[in-house]
Amino acid sequence: MSSIAKRSPWGIWKDVIFALFAREIRVGFNDKLGIGWAIVQPVLFIFILSFLRGRLNGGETHGIPTFVFMAFGMVLIQCFLQTFHAGARAIKKNKALFAFRQVQPISVVLASGLFELLVKIFVSLGMGLMMYFLDLELQLSDPLSLMFYFFSLWLFSLSLGFIFGLIALYIPEVDKIQNLMTRPLFFISGVFFSLQDFPQEYWWLLDWNPILHAIELSRYAAYPVYGQVGVSSGYLAMSVLTSTFLCLSIYQAYWKKAISR
Amino acid sequence: MISLVNVTKFYKTNLGNRYIFKDLSFDIPTGHNIAILGSNGAGKSTLFRLLAGSEYPNKGKVYCNLNISWPVALATGIHPEMTGRENTRFIGRVNGVVDLDDYEQRVKGFAELKENYELPVRTYSSGMRSRLAFACSIAIDFDVYLIDEVTSVGDAGFKRKAKQALLERSKNANVIMVSHDMRDIRQFCDSAIVLHQGELTFYNDLDEGIRKYQAL
């Protein structure tokens, strides 16, 4: 008989998240195109869109090549949207696994979030590699800040998705409005424009949105000439802290009820 | 010892709360192979899930100082797109099996899946699935195995083997099972808990339990 180890709660967590993560990878890339497609497809999509936009515009947007400008926006908004949806879906999708008392909803959400993070890191590397081979200019003057913004945005998306996933267990209709709510984000988060394109008196319409902050700050971190106008890393960090705190509190209060329905 | 202390469990429905247990306290005796008997909707599966920690009571607590399996039903934790081997590894990891390779081999041998072990579970027949699920749990050293109607799908040969395995383990392990097939129950159990209108009654003698259950 196979004996089982006495594990600390932390040990159980680690094992479970690893098992779920491995399962996510295994099931996520099940067809013949496999793991490559998850990276090639978004890279191509982002590349083509950015390229077309770069062509139309011809040159530079606020001091940085339009292609790079677009690429940052696209990678980050995709990171937000997909992590958000993965986080929101995770609990419902893996409901059967809660039969194992070791598997708790938060591990499921974390595992699918980590999976998205892994894919997004490879997509970013893929973009960089493609630009290198096509001899496009790419400058990264402050990679540490860049990584911080990227990671902040990821955490923000995951915790927001987590909150939605928890609410959806009680009010299933949330699923339906979720798409309706996230679609506009593609257009108001500064993917296609910069906050600098707008007159200052209208900024309040846009600058409540932490995704916009993350995108603009990333561009600035890569190209200091772009300028940091109207956005602040403090605001981004506060949004991340707030959303993470909120999702963990809701989870702590409701998770036992949530899986017992 | 597994004990339920002041357990209240209800489900919300459109017609208000539907109570399964109200303020129930009960100790499940150790050292018995117990069948849980009860009519449809009496709450057998709910009781099972509470014991296993898959669900939590609305009030009260379930105490358990034993190593208890997950409720082994046909599809729990088994992903149809993954192979038998991958599913086994997943279950092993979640449960904290020390030697995963050894565990894999055991499950493969016990479930008699041969080369099918490397195929996705969606290609399996229901008998093969139940064999895999049962093997995954019996190959781990639990003190108590919770078996939910799994044995009913296997063929005679497999049932014999399952019984053999449980007998071998019966010195330090027990089974609690739910099944509507009295032949299955007689094969695996020696005592019964009858579940009726939110109350549990333990019968040391299986036949007495079955009589009481059939008289309900």
- Give the pLDDT band (50/70/90) at residue B12: confident
Q: What is the DSSP letter of A191?
A: S
Tokens of B85: 């081997």
Identify which of A93, A115, A84, A91 has the alpha carbon closest to the alpha carbon of residue A22: A115
* Residues A237/A155, Cβ–Cβ less than 8 Å: no
The chain A residue lying nearest B100, using CA atoms, is: A2
The Cα–Cα gap between B104 and B136 comes to: 9
Tokens of A244: 């993470």
Check residue B215 and give its pLDDT. 86
The verdict on B63 touching A (C-beta cutoff 8 Å) is: no
CB contacts of A30 in chain B (<8 Å) are: 81
The reply to whether A1 falls in a domain is no
Query: What is the b/e burial string over A240-261, where b = at least 16 CB atoms within 10 angstroms of the residue's CB?
Result: beebbeebeebbeeebeebbbe
Residue B153 has pLDDT above 70, yes or no: no
Residue B104 C-alpha, separation from nearest chain A C-alpha, in angstroms: 10
Please state, in angstroms and as integers, the Cα–Cα distance from residue B135 to each residue in A100, A160, B102, B142, B178, following that order: 16, 40, 13, 13, 17
The Cα–Cα gap between B79 and A95 comes to: 12
Nearest residue, CB atoms, B95 vs list A26, A102, A257: A102
User: ipTM, 2 decimals?
Assistant: 0.86
Least confident of A245-249, B156-160, B202-206: B156-160
* Residues A57/A66, Cβ–Cβ less than 8 Å: yes
Strand duo A64-65 + B191-196: pairing: unpaired
Residue A175 amino acid letter: D
Inter-chain residue contact A5 with B96, CB threshold 8 Å: yes
Please state, in angstroms and as integers, the Cα–Cα distance from residue A192 to each residue in A90, A111, A212, following that order: 30, 31, 11
What's the longest Cα–Cα distance across chain B? 51
The verdict on B140 touching A (C-beta cutoff 8 Å) is: yes
Residue B183 C-alpha, separation from nearest chain A C-alpha, in angstroms: 27
Dihedral-angle region of residue B16 (phi above 0 means left; psi in -120 to 50 means alpha; beta otherwise)? left
The Cα–Cα gap between B8 and B61 comes to: 9
Quick one: CA dihedral B51, B52, B57, B63, positive or negative? positive
- Give the pLDDT band (50/70/90) at residue B151: low
Identify which of A116, A122, A77 has the alpha carbon closest to the alpha carbon of residue A218: A77
As for how many domains chain A has, the answer is 1
The reply to whether A171 falls in a domain is yes
Inter-chain residue contact A1 with B141, CB threshold 8 Å: yes
Residue B216 has pLDDT above 70, yes or no: yes
Q: Which residues contact B11 (CB under 8 A, 6 or more apart)?
A: A261, B17, B18, B20
Check residue A53 and give its pLDDT. 75
Please state, in angstroms and as integers, the Cα–Cα distance from residue A93 to each residue in A105, B45, B77, following that order: 11, 21, 12
Please state, in angstroms and as integers, the Cα–Cα distance from residue A180 to each residue in A154, A166, A176, A185, A211, following that order: 21, 18, 7, 10, 17
Calculate the CA A216 to chain-centre distance. Answer: 15
CB contacts of B49 in chain A (<8 Å) are: 99
Dihedral-angle region of residue A161 (phi above 0 means left; psi in -120 to 50 means alpha; beta otherwise)? alpha
The verdict on B76 touching A (C-beta cutoff 8 Å) is: yes
Nearest residue, CB atoms, B139 vs list A1, A30, A259: A1
Nearest residue, CB atoms, A4 vs list B49, B71, B98: B98
Strand order across the B174-178 sheet: B144-148, B174-178, B34-37, B191-196, B199-203
Choice between B14 and B90, residue whose per-residue pLDDT is larger: B90
Residue written as token pair 């007689």: B186
Beta bridge partners of B34: B176, B191
Check residue B150 and give its pLDDT. 66
The Cα–Cα gap between B135 and B128 comes to: 10
**Range of A177's domain?**
9-259
The Cα–Cα gap between B196 and B190 comes to: 20
The chain B residue lying nearest A99, using CA atoms, is: B54
The reply to whether A72 falls in a domain is yes
The Cα–Cα gap between A12 and A102 comes to: 7
Residue B154 has pLDDT above 80, yes or no: no
The Cα–Cα gap between A246 and A249 comes to: 5
* Residues B65/B1, Cβ–Cβ less than 8 Å: yes
Inter-chain residue contact B93 with A16, CB threshold 8 Å: yes
- Give the pLDDT band (50/70/90) at residue B181: confident
Strand order across the B2-13 sheet: B16-28, B2-13, B59-64
The reply to whether A2 falls in a domain is no
Interface of A with B in 54-83 (CB under 8 A): none
- Give the pLDDT band (50/70/90) at residue B186: confident
Q: Which residues contact B47 (CB under 8 A, 6 or more apart)?
A: B21, B36, B195, B200
Interface of A with B in 27-56 (CB under 8 A): 27, 30
How many interface pairs between A and B have CB atoms less than 8 angstroms apart? 94
- Using one digit for the tens of pLDDT, what is the confidence trace for B29-83? 888 889 999 888 888 888 888 998 888 999 999 998 888 888 887 677 788 888 9
pLDDT tens, chain A, 261 aa long:
677 778 888 989 999 999 999 998 888 777 667 677 777 888 888 878 877 877 776 677 888 888 888 888 989 999 999 999 999 999 988 888 998 989 999 999 999 999 999 999 998 998 888 888 888 878 888 999 999 999 999 999 999 999 999 999 888 888 888 888 888 888 888 888 888 888 888 888 888 999 999 999 999 999 998 888 888 999 999 999 999 999 999 999 988 888 876
The reply to whether A132 falls in a domain is yes
Q: What is the DSSP letter of B29?
A: P
Tokens of A146: 């860049």
In this structure, chain A runs to a length of: 261
Residue B135 amino acid letter: A
